[in-house]
Amino acid sequence: MAIRERMSGNEAIAEAMRQVDPDVMGAFPITPSTEIPEYFSEFMANGEVSTQFVPVESEHSAMSVCIGASAAGARAVTATSSCGLAYMWELLYVAASSRLPITMVVSNRALTGPISIGNDHSDSMGARDSGWMQIYAEDNQEVYDNFLQAILITEATRLPIMVCQDGFITSHGVSNIQLIEDEKVKEFVGEYEPEQYLLNHDRPLAVGPYGTAPYYMEVKRQQAQAMKDSMPVILEVAEKFRQMTGRSYGFFEEYMMEDAEVAVVVIGSSAGTGKEAVNRLRAEGRKVGLIKLRVFRPFPRIPLAEAMCRVRAVAVMDKAESFSNSGGPLFNESRSALYDLPGRPYAINYIYGLGGRDITVDDFYEIYRDLFIIADTNDPGDVYRYIGVRDSRYEEGGFDHRSEE
């Protein structure tokens, strides 16, 4: 029977780690993920886990610990945020190319500069091409559930995985969640038994070798294939989790999409605000919907595109800027996915929430209003837009995409 609790996202992650009881945790504090190793170290001190807890001098060293431990055959975990993730950048690629199943929690926070501790997705989105899988959570329950599933996903695919949550919003915000009994978690994740590891003297191997031109490209091709092959694994683990808990997960969640005419695609906790806007607009008789993307790596190109093609216009929302002059990372991949499909909708991008800027129900109202105008006029206008930002160009008429009813 599920255990009802109230806890923050960071507490929920630490509790999930306690239940998994990993072999090694490399830890260095950085806001807003600091509480995760703090809570977990209490479990360590109380004798509730057998984990080798390794406090280090930097995030670079924390990932180095995980790489060494995972290569040696241990189940390794860590947590970080923002500049801490940036500091371990070099080693993200080492872990991924070495095919080491490491689970890392990222409590998303804006990257400097200017200096900010507010939430956005610039840290993990900046690492989107490092070869790590990425799963995002809307609320604290999903944070907890995603972490438990991530353990199985990374070990089945031998690709490291980031479990991402919105810093302060879910990491520190307290809400009701349902925990799973310890014995069920133990049975779900099982014992980690790698086929190959450095300490197996019967099967010598090299980890992180020098990749000369005749070999380097084949390694990258194998990584790319592993990312493709991970898609059915994610769904298999989700089904196993559903059978245990009754909670269903997929690559994304469709909200009020059955008869929607326009829709928004969004990642993370902002989906909750978007759903409230959908509820209110539905009450007003407007057929709007929302797609909450859960899995960003691997990118679910075909199923997401098919879901978007059921509406006339779609707004893809990015809580990170890629400075590409063509929109944010989620928009560019989502819009590209639509290219070959007939009946594709108009697709526009909104950059929002950078540095912790609030996204409100009123902001979503404005976005849905714009989508109906686009659908009715067959004119998308400028597809690369900002929402909720002060900009003098609105008054000057040079960057105003907003249309009057």
pLDDT above 70 covers a percentage of the chain that reads: 96
**pLDDT score at 208:** 86
Question: What distance in Å separates the CA atoms of residue 309 and residue 343, rounded to the nearest whole number?
Answer: 6
pLDDT digits (tens, 9 = 90+) for 234-263: 999 999 999 999 999 999 999 999 999 999
Does the domain spanning 252-396 belong to CATH 2.40.50.140?
Answer: no
Output the average pLDDT for the chain: 95
CATH of domain 3-245: 3.40.50.970
pLDDT digits (tens, 9 = 90+) for 172-187: 999 999 999 999 999 9
Q: What share of the chain is helix, strand, coil (3-state, %, to 5)?
A: 40, 20, 40
Confidence band for 405, pLDDT divided at 50, 70 and 90: very low
Question: What distance in Å separates the CA atoms of residue 188 and residue 343, rounded to the nearest whole number?
Answer: 42
Whole-prediction pTM: 0.95
**Burial class of 142 by CB neighbour count within 10 A (0 to 12, 13 to 18, 19+):** buried
**pLDDT score at 1:** 66
**C-alpha distance across the termini of the chain, in Å:** 52
User: What is the residue whose two structure tokens read 């070869």?
Assistant: 131
Same fold, 3-245 and 252-396: yes
Question: What distance in Å separates the CA atoms of residue 358 and residue 43, rounded to the nearest whole number?
Answer: 35
Question: What distance in Å separates the CA atoms of residue 227 and residue 83, rounded to the nearest whole number?
Answer: 26
Question: What distance in Å separates the CA atoms of residue 65 and residue 224, rounded to the nearest whole number?
Answer: 25
pLDDT digits (tens, 9 = 90+) for 322-356: 999 999 999 999 999 999 999 999 999 999 999 99
Q: Render 9-71 in DSSP notation, one character per residue.
A: HHHHHHHHHHHH--SEEEE---TTTTHHHHHHHHHHHTTS---EEEE-SSHHHHHHHHHHHHH
pLDDT digits (tens, 9 = 90+) for 55-92: 999 999 999 999 999 999 999 999 999 999 999 999 99
**pLDDT score at 393:** 53
Q: Where are the domains of the chain?
A: 3-245, 252-396
pLDDT digits (tens, 9 = 90+) for 97-148: 999 999 999 999 999 989 999 999 999 999 999 999 999 999 999 999 999 9
